[in-house]
């Protein structure tokens, strides 16, 4: 796979998918460059990380963009693999500038908006015949008789989507409010807190699943599925213990929406399998590598290598497929899960017993001893993470 341009930039963060990408690409002989905003990040301690470069955080978006453009201009760099929520937006908005130097596999800005804007995503799902919870703008809701979730309309608040935002104001919006049946929320307060008019969706009870994919201009190159056994919160969110699965209905659901969008690049679709109907209902789509990527790569779905091949125009060398029944843990996420049991409350999800859940985590780690950061051939990333988290915990107490 080596060539005169054999380097790949990986926009790593505290989450483990950057490390999974570096580990995968290094195994293919690719020179890996971790672009980080904190030199203490675990990925920089890995023996698979050939080089690390300190760049500004995405919160300083113009400087972040310029730093990525600087890396793209290096003659040895082939592509940039998007991991952080801002990445697809920056790569798409400034595609002309990036494509002077590197090959990136991301959708155009208009298509990207169709997944960043959850209202437009619901409309696309309806056209595709794909299930998605009933979705309305907060100001349009006049019936609060059922359980509802209020959340940001946009995955990313940006100048392309909101007139009152400048480019440098772009930010991640993750707030979610659970509204039990019969309660009417304070519309003005929620709108002010979220920085724009949010959406309201019906609450769908059920297990969470992930559908990952890499597309080339509307054509699926490879797909992957996993069942989320635990998230970083007991109410859900990012998967910290997952197991690869192969469910035909989930495959059909994932392809239907991405085909409708004529997708290009990476997609991570989060689903809830409705406990009553068994239908897979879309929660959101993230156009980048996902937190639980290590589960996919361990099962044989080598998305980092496949992205590299797509960027190098070698899609004919992609051999899709993976092994079902492969589970992995993100250990720090398991700890966050326990913290959520101790501190969080939801009107929709019953809080488990803390001792019982701790025992469950220990048992699953013993029966499924596969971990995102813990590898016998590369122990330093986990040690670095433990040290960094301890240092940050001490700093917060001061």
**Sequence spans of domains, the chain:** 7-107, 134-202, 206-386
* Range name among 227-231, 360-364, 389-393 with the lowest pLDDT average: 389-393
Instruction: Specify the range with the lowest mean pLDDT, choosing from 42-46, 79-83, 354-358, 382-386.
Output: 382-386
Pick 7-107's CATH classification: 1.20.950.20, 3.40.50.720, 3.40.50.10860, 3.30.1130.10: 3.40.50.720
Question: Which phi and psi angles does 369 have, rounded to 5°?
Answer: -85, 65
Distance CA 217, CA 105 (A): 9
CATH of domain 206-386: 3.30.470.20
Count of alpha carbons within 13 Å of 390, Cβ hemisphere only?
Answer: 6
Query: 170: Cβ–Cβ under 8 A, 6 or more apart, which residues?
Result: 58, 61, 86, 89, 156, 157, 158, 159
Confidence of residue 5 (pLDDT cuts 50, 70, 90): low
Mean pLDDT of 232-250: 94
Q: How confident is the model at residue 242 (pLDDT cuts 50, 70, 90)?
A: very high
Residue 263 has pLDDT above 90, yes or no: yes
1 band by pLDDT with thresholds 50, 70 and 90: very low
Distance (Å, rounded) from C-alpha 79 to C-alpha 177?
38
Q: Looking at residues 302-317, what average pLDDT do you find? A: 96
The single residue listed with the structure tokens 């440098």 is 168
> Which pLDDT band, with edges at 50, 70 and 90, does 398 fall under?
confident
């Amino acid at each position: 796979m080596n060539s005169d341009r054999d380097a790949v930039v990986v926009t790593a963060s505290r989450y483990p998918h950057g490390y999974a990408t570096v580990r995968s690409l290094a195994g293919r002989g690719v020179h890996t460059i971790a672009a980080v905003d904190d030199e203490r990040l675990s990925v920089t301690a890995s023996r698979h990380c050939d080089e690390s470069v300190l760049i500004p955080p995405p919160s300083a978006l113009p400087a972040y963009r310029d730093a990525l453009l600087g890396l793209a201009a290096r003659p040895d760099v082939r592509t940039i693999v998007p991991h952080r929520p801002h990445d697809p937006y920056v790569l798409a908005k400034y595609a002309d500038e990036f494509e002077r130097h590197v090959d990136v596999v991301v959708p155009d800005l208009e298509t990207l908006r169709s997944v960043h804007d959850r209202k437009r995503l619901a409309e696309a799902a309806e056209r595709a015949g794909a299930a998605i919870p009933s979705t309305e703008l907060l100001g349009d809701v006049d019936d609060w008789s059922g359980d509802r979730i209020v959340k940001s309309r946009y995955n990313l608040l940006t100048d392309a989507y909101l007139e009152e935002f400048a480019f440098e104001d772009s930010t991640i919006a993750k707030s979610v409010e659970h509204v039990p049946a019969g309660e009417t929320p304070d519309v003005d307060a929620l709108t002010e807190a979220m920085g724009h008019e949010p959406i309201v969706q019906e609450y769908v009870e059920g297990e969470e699943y992930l559908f990952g994919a890499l597309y080339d201009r509307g054509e699926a190159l490879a797909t992957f599925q996993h069942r989320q056994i635990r998230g970083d919160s007991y109410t859900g969110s990012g998967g910290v213990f997952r197991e690869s699965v192969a469910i035909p209905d989930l495959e059909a659901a994932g392809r239907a929406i991405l085909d409708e969008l004529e997708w290009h690049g990476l997609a991570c679709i989060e689903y809830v399998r409705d406990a009553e109907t068994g239908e897979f209902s879309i929660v959101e789509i993230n156009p980048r590598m996902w937190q639980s990527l290590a589960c996919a790569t361990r099962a044989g779905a080598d998305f980092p290598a496949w992205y590299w091949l797509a960027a190098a125009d070698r899609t004919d060398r992609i051999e899709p497929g993976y092994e079902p029944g492969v589970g992995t843990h993100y250990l720090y996420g398991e700890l966050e899960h326990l913290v959520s049991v101790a501190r969080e409350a939801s009107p929709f999800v019953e809080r488990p017993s803390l001792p019982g859940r701790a025992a469950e985590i220990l048992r699953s780690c013993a029966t499924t001893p596969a971990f995102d950061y813990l590898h016998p051939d590369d122990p330093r990333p986990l040690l670095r993470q433990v040290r960094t988290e301890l240092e940050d915990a001490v700093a917060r107490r001061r």
